[in-house]
Each structure stands twice: as structure tokens, then as C-alpha cells.
Chain A
Amino acid sequence: FPVLPEKEKEEMQFAKKYLENFYGFKEEKSSLLKWKNLNPMADKIREMQSFFGLEVTGELNHKTLAMMKQPRCGMPDIRS
């Protein structure tokens, strides 16, 4: 569903936490590393979309967000 404007940032925060918990996402701290991989979060979103058989876009679209909001097990989806 369309995201109410003020919720956009909130959703991004939620998605980051989800990817940290279940896909081993780590936000690059150093700017050099950040420069190297422009959007590490997009890679993790792709990994999650591929796991759940969603269209792999690397974008936080509504279906991806909806999947993240489903009640689930607390263990990671990737071997870590």
C-alpha cells in the first residue's frame, strides 16, 4: 500500500534492522568502504528477495516490506 510520507524513514529503519537480524547486514562505518560498495543494503535486499522468491530489484518496494512485516522465526535466513 502507499506509504504515508512520514512513515518512509521509519520503514527504512525497520528494513535495516530486519536485514541485520536475518541477513547479516552490517552498515559500513568507514566512508572508504561506503564508497567501495555504494549501497550494501541493496545487496542484502536482493538476497532477501531471492530467498522469498520476490522480484529481485534491490529496492525496498511494498511487497518486500510486506514480507518483512510478517510474523516469523527469530533465526537468520542465511547461514552465519
Chain B
Amino acid sequence: YSTFPLSPKWKKEDVTYRILNYTPDMLQADVEEAIAKAFQLWSSVTPLRFTRVYSDQADIMISFASGFHGDFYPFDGPGGTLAHAYPPGSNIGGDAHFDEDETWTKFTTYNGYNLFLVAAHELGHSLGLGHSNVLGALMYPIYMARETRDYKLPQDDIDGIQALYGRPKESPALPTKAFPPQEPTEMTPAETTTEMPPREEPTETTPSNTPVRPQDCDPHLNFDAITTLRGETLFFKGSYVWRKSPYFSDIEHDTISSFWPSLVAGFDAAYEVDKRDRVLFFKDNHYWAVRGYSIEPGFPKPIQNLGFPTSVRKIDAAVHDENTKKTYFFVGNKYWSFNENTQSMERGYPRKIAADFHGIGHTVDAALQKNGLFYFFHGANQYEVDIKSKKLIRKMKSNSWFNC
């Protein structure tokens, strides 16, 4: 952990806070709950008590703003900087600002930043903590989506805040007090936001049951999805990525979150339209577009946007043919052809896979185009196909790309 130079801290135990305005991304009650919960995290490990006030100057003033917003640190639009806060002191000291150009949410899914997690981090600054270089610490500078139910403050953050304020006096600190609810005097009326219907939270695998990465040359190795990306080839399974590149000889082992932290693990399909430097990832009935490390704004989108009927709830595999500008989507024993130029599904589809791809008599887990040939993966095997003659050339192990 770290503190600010000269370790500024509040010289009292009763600290006030005030919520100046709201984000239209969330219900106001959810904003208030997220912030109260964030204060509770810090009061539970220190003698500090936080009280919400509704008018005049509070020690910690909380607001949402975008771009230039009256201090010397303008926000930067979606992504990048999410929020900032000032160390304890008068006036702007202690204040926390949240970038309204972000999408704020009470969930820990991929469409938005969890306000409780970001607020808890920023309030750490408002109390006098600087950044920690301990990966996993709350005061680590980079946003990491994580389970927030029963969120426990990591030890590094407890050590840091107790170095400033000591331990709580009595049994776990009093819950954050609020004055008896009164009509707050000023509210920037945020348009009522219809809260996103709660999506089933992706089952977060806790570290204890995180599946282990299979060995590169495991003869049973199979993949969820495969795509090219700027001349490289990425193989996905669960949260793991195998990266094969012409720029370095060995296979690089990564995780999805190391490239795209806000994407969940377990893709169903992926493909690149390399004339557009764009890769699409599919999971359940949604898809994302990425350009390098950046997720294009406005995603995820429902796969029905591509022309799938609502009866299709997920796809098995996808591959783009650079020669014909068509993308093939595989679902069960059928496949669709999507015209990337017109951005629409072609007529006469779906068709049976077996009818057009001789030798591919089963479902397809993943698909790849490399050097003009197509590779269809099914379990631990892959089938090399010449798409022009639609002839099966040979069958190999799925991991034959890993120089086994």
C-alpha cells in the first residue's frame, strides 16, 4: 500500500459525505447503496464513522461529471480513467469524482463498471491511501471486475488504512449512519433509468475451483473458439488463451482477462474480418467486436442483430472467408452464410453442414481459415478442408498447431 506525501488523514473520527448528483445509468437508490456499502468497507476496519448529509459542505463530496469538470484533471470519455479522488483536506480535499462517460452498474458483468468497487477504491484515496502495486488489492490502480457479494477488504488495504487510523475501537464498526431521511434539497433530476434486467451473473469461478490450463500437447485438448488476429492465431478454452505468432517461436500462454479484462471467459465462437482489423467474440446470445485490445463501444449486442432467428440461442463456431467476404456460422448440424459487405445473412440458409462440407458429419466446436484452407475442430480432432472443392484433405489432432 502507499499513502500520499506527508500522509494526510482526517483528524477526526466522524467524517461526513454528500452525494451531489447521480448517474442516469443506475437507480438512485442503487447509487446510494453502492456508496454506503463502500464507506462501510472502510468503517468496518477503522474507528472512522461516516455520516451522509444532504446540504452544505461535507468532508467528502461525491459527484458524477464528464470531460472538464472544474478541477485540473479532465476526464477522458469512455474507458481509460474511470474516476479520481483527492486526499483528506479542506475544500476539494477528500472529494470523489466519477466519469459520467462510463457506464455504471450495480452488477459485476461485462456491460459497465461496478460502482461499488470503483467507489470503494476512490474513497480509499479520500481517506488518505495512495495506490498499491499488490495485484488484487482494492487500491490497485487498474479496474478488476470481481464478485461483490460479501466482498472482503484485502489485507494490504487493511494494513494501509490502519497505518493511518488504527483499528476499530469496539466490535465491528457501527454501520454507516445517515441522518433521518429527509427530502434532499437539491437533486439534478436524472431521467429515470430503467435498470438493466438482472442478467444471470456469470458464474465466477473462485480461485479454489478455477480449472487448470490443459497441457499444450494433451491428446484430448479441445477448444471453445479459435480466431486469427493481425497475423497471429488465438485458441480459446475457458479463460485461457494459447497464442501462436509468426513474431515469436513458442506458444504464449495468456488469459482472456489479460487482453480484454471486461470480457467473460468461455467464448462459443470467434472470427476476424481482417480487412477491418476487427474480431468478433460470441457467448450465448451476445457478441462483442474488438479492435486489438479495445472493445468497440455499444457492445455486447444480441446475435439476432446479425439475422439469426430467436430460436438460435448460441452459436458453436464461426469463420470468415477472406476470399469471398462471407462468414460461416455453425449451429448444431447446420450452418449460415453471412455477407460481410451487405452485413446480412444470405438467402437459402441455414443448410446442412454435411451437404456442403464433405467429411464434416458432426457439429463444429471451432473453425479457422489459414493459408486459404479451412480447419474445423470437433473435440480433440480437426479436419482440414479445401473450401473451393469442399473436399476433406486430412484429419489431425486439434493441438497440432502447438509443435507437439
The size of the chain A interface, using a CB distance under 8 A, is 22
Of all chain B residues, the one with the shortest Cβ separation from A51 is: B133
Could you jot down 14 A-B contacts, CB within 8 Å?
A1-B292, A2-B230, A2-B232, A53-B135, A67-B142, A70-B261, A71-B102, A71-B142, A72-B80, A72-B81, A73-B118, A73-B122, A74-B73, A74-B75
Within 8 A of A (CB), among B103-135: 113, 118, 121-122, 125, 130-131, 133, 135
Interface of A is mostly: loop
Q: Kindly identify which residue among B2, B102, B121 contacts A79, using a CB–CB cutoff of 8 Å.
A: B2
A26 at the B interface (CB under 8 A): no
B86 nearest CB neighbor, chain A only: A75
Chain B residues near A (Cβ < 8 Å): 2-5, 73, 75, 79-85, 99, 102, 113, 118, 121-122, 125, 130-131, 133, 135, 141-143, 229-232, 247, 258-259, 261-262, 277, 292-294
Q: Are B81 and A74 in contact (CB under 8 A)?
A: yes
Q: Name the residue among B79, B82, B118, B292 with the largest chain A CB count within 10 angstroms.
A: B292
- How many residue pairs at the A-B interface have CB separations less than 8 Å? 79
Give 1 or 0 for each of A26-57: 1 = CB within 8 Å of chain B CB.
00000000000000000000000001110000
Interface residues, chain A, with chain B CB atoms under 8 Å away: 1-4, 21-22, 51-53, 66-67, 69-77, 79-80
Q: Which residue from chain B places its CB closest to the CB of A2 in the assembled complex? A: B230
Report A-chain residues with C-beta under 8 Å of the C-beta of B293: 1, 66, 69
Q: Are A71 and B277 in contact (CB under 8 A)?
A: no
User: When chains A and B are docked, how far (Å) is the Cα of A1 from the Cα of B244?
Assistant: 11
Contact B5 A71 (CB under 8 A): no
Known contacts A4-B277, A66-B293, A79-B5: A72-B142 contact under CB 8 Å: yes
Q: How far is the CB of A40 from chain B (nearest CB, A)?
A: 21
| Contact indicator B82/A73 (Cβ below 8 Å) | yes
Specify the chain B residue showing the minimal Cβ separation from A3.
B292
In the bound complex, residues from chain A placing their C-beta under 8 Å from that of B99 are: 74
- B193 vs chain A, min Cβ distance (A): 21
In the complex the two chains form, what is the Cα distance from A2 to B130 in whole Å? 34
Contact flag A66-B133 (CB < 8 Å), given A1-B230, A73-B81, A74-B83:
no
Cβ contact within 8 Å between A22 and B141: yes
| A69 neighbours in B (Cβ, 8 Å) | 79-80, 293-294
Q: Nearest Cβ in chain A — how far from B403, in angstroms?
A: 21
For the complex, give the distance between the alpha carbons of A47 and B189 in Å: 44
For B79, the chain A residues whose CB sits under 8 A away are 69, 71
**Cβ B229 vs Cβ A75 within 8 A:** no
Cα A75 to Cα B4 with chains together (Å): 11
Cβ of A51 to closest chain B Cβ, rounded Å: 5
